[in-house]
Amino acid sequence: MSSALPAAVLWDMDGTLVDTEPYWMAAEGPLVESFGGEWTHEKSLELVGLGLDDAARVLQRAGVRLAVPEIVDRLTDEVRASLRREGVPFRPGARQLLSDLRDAGVRTALVTMSLRRMATEIVELIDFEAFDLVIGGDDVPRPKPFPDPYLQACEILGVAPGECVAIEDSPNGARSAVAAGVTTIGVPNVVSLAGSGVTEIWPTLEGCTPQDLADALARHHRKARA
């Protein structure tokens, strides 16, 4: 017998739905260097999955002499410009799985630490009605890895966290979803998810179906009862 589909599937954006991490990294280095600081790829990796305010504070410590909101706006504008030039770079399998979920009647939310205005811009570039809800980093009191973003999404959708599946690519995002009590599928991109507490790690979303997510949710419930 087929497992019941999740009540909702909650998607991270950067690095999970769309491969924008290179855009963020490309924006960080020139910003630090414009203030005479030094920036490396390894330092960029440390920012993956952080809330933008927290990332901005790291950049301040690297020498960027701007207020946190100014740094967030500068980075966001640079990434938005890259998206307008290059289009939406979906991760492998992500667009198809999202479309299949919508066709199956599964509710979906985008839960990202990017600003709402950038998340909305990306959603508007998708050629179907992709999400019931968008939660941006400026919509929550505490960012990932706190559970607030995922708990807020579940509350607004009117679903129980334990009946939902989250898809994440970063340790901070995974910890946020796990802390909220959501079955969490980790799909690594530029950083390892070792030790993040994800329910399962999948190498890719290519070829994955809504039923695969339903089966992962069922496996998690069986393990919790064991």
User: Which tens digit of pLDDT belongs to each residue from 147-201?
Assistant: 999 999 999 999 999 999 999 999 999 999 999 999 999 999 988 999 999 999 9
Please report, rounded to a whole number, the percentage of residues in the chain having pLDDT higher than 70. 100
201 strand-pairing partners: 186
Residue 98: what pLDDT? Answer: 98
Peptide bond between residue 145 and the one before it cis (omega within 30 degrees of 0): yes
Residue 206 has pLDDT above 80, yes or no: yes
Residue 156: what pLDDT? Answer: 98
Most confident of 19-33, 49-63, 178-192: 178-192
Residue 96: what pLDDT? Answer: 97
Residue 141: what pLDDT? Answer: 92
Give the fold, CATH level 3, of 21-86: DNA polymerase; domain 1 (1.10.150)
Whole-number Å distance between alpha carbons of 208 and 189:
17
- Provide the H-helix boundaries in 104-209: 116-125, 148-157, 171-179
Mean pLDDT of the chain: 93
Residue 107 has pLDDT above 80, yes or no: yes
3-state secondary structure 33-69: HHCCCCCCHHHHHHHCCCCHHHHHHHHHHCCCCCCHH
Residue 1: what pLDDT? Answer: 59
- Spans of all domains in the chain: 8-20+90-225, 21-86
Whole-number Å distance between alpha carbons of 223 and 225:
5
Residue 119 has pLDDT above 80, yes or no: yes
- 3-class SS of residue 127: coil
Backbone angles phi, psi at 8, to 5 degrees: -160, 155
Residue 22: what pLDDT? Answer: 86
Residue 170: what pLDDT? Answer: 93
Residue 68: what pLDDT? Answer: 95
Say which residue, 49 or 10, is predicted with more confidence.
Answer: 10
Please report, rounded to a whole number, the percentage of residues in the chain having pLDDT higher than 90. 75
| pLDDT confidence bin for 129, thresholds 50/70/90 | very high
Are 135 and 112 a contacting pair, CB within 8 Å?
A: yes
Residue 88: what pLDDT? Answer: 78
Residue 48: what pLDDT? Answer: 83
Whole-number Å distance between alpha carbons of 27 and 50:
15
Q: Select from 118, 129, 137, 180 the least CA-distant residue to 155.
A: 180
Q: Which CATH architecture has domain 8-20+90-225?
A: 3-Layer(aba) Sandwich (3.40)
